[in-house]
Amino acid sequence: MAAPRVDRGRLAVDGQFWGLSRRRSATLLAIPLAGAALLGLTALVRPLYDALVREDSLLEWLQVASYVAAFFLAGRSALRLHGWVAAAFGVFALGCLLAAGEELSWGQRLFGLDTPDGLEALNNQEELNVHDVVEVQGKVNLAVALASLYGLVAPWLVRRRVLVAPPNALNCAFLTMLAYASARSAFFPHPGHALAKFSEWPETCFAGTLAVFALLVWRRTRAAK
């Protein structure tokens, strides 16, 4: 997967607006691609791969932590902003809270909750969440793909940096999620277990980049206060 070309001028503008050095920007661009390659290599050692991608393991908890962080940071930013921008970040915060709850199946495994019979019959994982319900799963995947597309394209469409357009330094994280979702939809609608569980890395990239974006916005709003 080739990284999108991000010229030094754009990274310099990112640095001025978002407070990102070129080294930090380069690191943010490299992590999603390097992580995808490393996780792919661990598939050669199946016990290690399974340990990383299984439920309630490292990657899933990173996603939960990222969504929770993004919720608090975006929520604080929304309180400092005005008009439609404040509303946008309020919706962003609420979406991250819902995503964290869904990843945890709303505490089902933590508290030993049972799945209601009606939901258990509809849920692919027989868990207390909505995103694994067959009729909902495709819509959730589409929403994540569209959000990734927005995060990837928006920085290239604006003439000047604005709070609602993520920095170019996050391009690769959004690209990783979008590329995986597109490949699954186009070529692997019924993937095997190993390929299906590889989704944990793009999902971690997506959640992590939302947390980074929320952190950068929070820093900007705090500085402007």
Quick check: 184 pLDDT over 50? yes
Q: What is the CB neighbour count within 10 angstroms for residue 41?
A: 11
Position 105 scores a pLDDT of 78
- Mean of pLDDT over the chain: 88
Q: Residue range 134-149: average pLDDT?
A: 87
Q: Is the pTM of this model over 0.85?
A: yes
d(CA 186, CA 6): 27
Least confident of 16-25, 125-134, 146-155, 205-214: 125-134
Model confidence pLDDT, tens digit, residues 79-137 = 999 999 999 999 999 999 999 988 887 777 777 767 776 666 666 666 777 766 767 77
- Asked if 205 and 61 touch (Cβ cutoff 8 Å), the reply is no
d(CA 134, CA 6): 38
Domain boundaries, the chain: 20-224
d(CA 205, CA 51): 18
Model confidence pLDDT, tens digit, residues 22-52 = 899 999 999 999 999 999 999 999 999 999 9
Q: Phi, psi at residue 123, to the nearest 5°?
A: -90, 130
Residue linked to tokens 């999902």: 203
Name the DSSP letter for residue 106.
G
Position 96 scores a pLDDT of 97
